[in-house]
Amino acid sequence: MRKAGILLPIFSLPGKYGIGCLSKAAYDFVDFLARSGQSYWQILPIGPTGYGDSPYQTFCTFAGNPYFISLEELVSEGLLETSDLKKVDFGRDEEIIDYGQLYKVRFNVLKKAFKNSRHKGTDAYKAFEEENADWLSDYALFMALKDKYDGISFTKWPDELRFRDEKALKKAEKELAETMDFYGFLQYKFYEQWFKLKKYANEKGIGIIGDIPIYVSPDSSDLWANPKLFQTDENGELINVAGCPPDAFTPLGQLWGNPVYNWDHHKKTGYGWWITRMRRCIRLYDVVRIDHFRGFDEYYTIKAGKTDATEGVWMKGPGIELFKVMKKELGKMNIIAEDLGFITPSVRKLVKDTGFPNMKVLEFAFDPNDHKGKGEFLPHNYNSNSVVYTGTHDNETLVGYIKGTSPKVRKAVLSYLDLHTRDAKKIAAALVRLALSSVSELAVIPVQDYLMLDNRARINTPSTLGGNWVWRLKEEDLNADLSEKIKNLTDMFGRNTGEKKAK
């Protein structure tokens, strides 16, 4: 069944208090999607971010981002007063996130809510702790220790804590009990608000497409608490890290620095960690997009300590075996395979064998050297078991792409569309229609491309620091005219699965 969705990170939602969150604005966006004939809201990873603010580098793969906790909801619960928020500077520009300012002030506000809370000892909180026992206490202690050591990486902690000496951990748990409770409270509130929003969305006919990175962060409770899951030596030191090999655009390759998995250990343990992770994702989301899916087939690894990715090697991943075990344990999974980048025949086979839809991105389609129309991102070469995007969070906006691309590429775009115009917005609008008209069962359009925004609204420029993950919608952007425009397009190309329940 043909469907459509919109890509919008939670942090990009409009509203007060410095960053998009699980507030009224999130519910309003769900209503906007329903009115617009959409079936899905695609988000980015929801974990707590660290240095660089990337949602793909989080302190824990199971935790939620405390910045996304709705302060308005805490006020309505009586845990905060409106006056607690009015006197705080969350950032002066409501269209740009100031993460530095948020770090300074938002946790102080959340600590007030924590001190006013009576969550400890309640049946609901006990149930939450039991349900999340496999990660919550490790994460809470990890964050409490990070606070104690001024946010430095756990690799720089005293050895007895870094390498988890049992005596030292018990001492730290006793000393930092209140801080650990604070971080537990934040997760309790985050997930309470998350599941409330998801229930609302589902009742309106809107599914949530979540996004998970294949790798964990090198500074995470995942690595700290479970070094055996990764390629580490007997001291817990990383042996190899993840990255991408050199290409025409990056002569030194990309050194991501993420720990790579010890797949032999995962196999011996029946892939238990991955099953736990995916079981959680299935509960959190209606569909799961797995970033860098090709890493399950083969992954590029570099010796830890190298300064670039030129000397890496390709190693075999778990392949189809992992997904067979998952299917046996979890049943049918709704997964989107992000198979972008350098794709080999074995990767294509893995994607085909899993049966998961893969991704098609229009901004990758118009290679001026492709004179025979064989490019896999050209819509006439799609099959229905795919998800088409005009662009992803790592791409330019469509308008920015048209304005900045080479004359050859622009000529290829215009030729394919049979257009004769220099107007970037008209070309972008035609590309949106092209995506929606394709045979792909699902079409997901970043909201910036419906709004015809330029690269000032770009989410991320890969391999750069600063200026990423900061763009936010204005409240007036999500108006009735835009909703009607989107609904008309969705209806026109048979992607509206029925009238949604919208206010």
Give the pLDDT confidence of 171-201 residue by residue, as tens digits.
999 999 999 999 999 999 999 999 999 999 9
Residue 218: what pLDDT? Answer: 95
Q: Percent helix, strand and coil across the chain, each rounded to 5?
A: 45, 15, 40
Q: State the sign of the Cα–Cα–Cα–Cα dihedral 227, 229, 230, 231.
A: positive
Residue 497: what pLDDT? Answer: 83
Please indicate whether residue 134 is annotated as part of the active site.
no
Annotated active-site residue in 53, 219, 291, 396: 291
Angle at 312 between CA 392 and CA 268, to 5 degrees: 85
Residue 379: what pLDDT? Answer: 96
Please indicate whether residue 192 is annotated as part of the active site.
no
What number is the average pLDDT over the span 233-257? 88
Paired sense of beta strands 335-337 and 287-290, if any: parallel
pLDDT for 14-24, tens place per residue? 999 999 999 99
List of E strands, 129-236: 207-212
At 151 the three-state DSSP class reads coil
| Other Cβ atoms within 10 Å of 328 Cβ, number | 10
Please indicate whether residue 394 is annotated as part of the active site.
yes
Residue 198: what pLDDT? Answer: 98
Residues 6 or more apart whose CB falls under 8 angstroms from that of 415 comprise: none
Q: How far apart are CA 165 and CA 311, in angstroms?
A: 35
pLDDT for 475-492, tens place per residue? 999 999 999 999 999 999
Q: How far apart are CA 376 and CA 362, in angstroms?
A: 10
Amino acid at 269: T
Query: Chain-centre distance of CA 193, in angstroms?
Result: 18
Q: State the sign of the Cα–Cα–Cα–Cα dihedral 497, 281, 193, 109.
A: negative
What are the phi and psi torsion angles at 342 (to 5°)?
-75, 110
Annotated active-site residue in 181, 298, 329, 394: 394
Structural contact between residues 442 and 388, judged by C-beta atoms closer than 8 angstroms = yes
Paired sense of beta strands 240-244 and 298-303, if any: antiparallel
Residue 502: what pLDDT? Answer: 57
pLDDT band at 500 (very low <50, low <70, confident <90, very high): low
What number is the average pLDDT over the span 31-52? 96
Structural contact between residues 223 and 216, judged by C-beta atoms closer than 8 angstroms = yes
pLDDT for 58-103, tens place per residue? 999 999 999 999 999 999 999 999 999 998 999 988 899 999 999 9
The backbone region for 326, taken as left when phi is positive above 0, alpha when psi lies in -120 to 50, beta otherwise, is: alpha
Q: State the sign of the Cα–Cα–Cα–Cα dihedral 445, 451, 454, 460.
A: negative
pLDDT band at 373 (very low <50, low <70, confident <90, very high): confident
Structural contact between residues 297 and 350, judged by C-beta atoms closer than 8 angstroms = yes
| Other Cβ atoms within 10 Å of 415 Cβ, number | 11
Annotated active-site residue in 73, 297, 338, 454: 338
Residues 6 or more apart whose CB falls under 8 angstroms from that of 155 comprise: 162, 218, 219
pLDDT for 250-277, tens place per residue? 889 889 999 999 999 999 999 999 999 9
Beta bridge partners of 444: 5, 389
Structural contact between residues 312 and 332, judged by C-beta atoms closer than 8 angstroms = no
345: enclosing H helix or E strand = helix 345-354
Q: How far apart are CA 180 and CA 184, in angstroms?
A: 6
Residue 326's nearest CA partner among 246, 267, 371 is 267
Structural contact between residues 66 and 186, judged by C-beta atoms closer than 8 angstroms = yes
Q: How far apart are CA 25 and CA 23, in angstroms?
A: 5
Place of tokens 């030596």: 233
Tell me how long the chain is: 503
Place of tokens 């102080």: 108
Quick one: CA torsion of 255, 46, 136, 318, rounded to 10 degrees? -50
- Percent of the chain whose pLDDT exceeds 90: 89
Q: Is the pLDDT of residue 56 over 90?
A: yes
Residue 289's nearest CA partner among 346, 358, 196 is 358
Residue 323: what pLDDT? Answer: 97
Residue 372: what pLDDT? Answer: 78
Both tokens assigned to 309:
């990715």
Both tokens assigned to 6:
């919109």
Residue 499: what pLDDT? Answer: 60
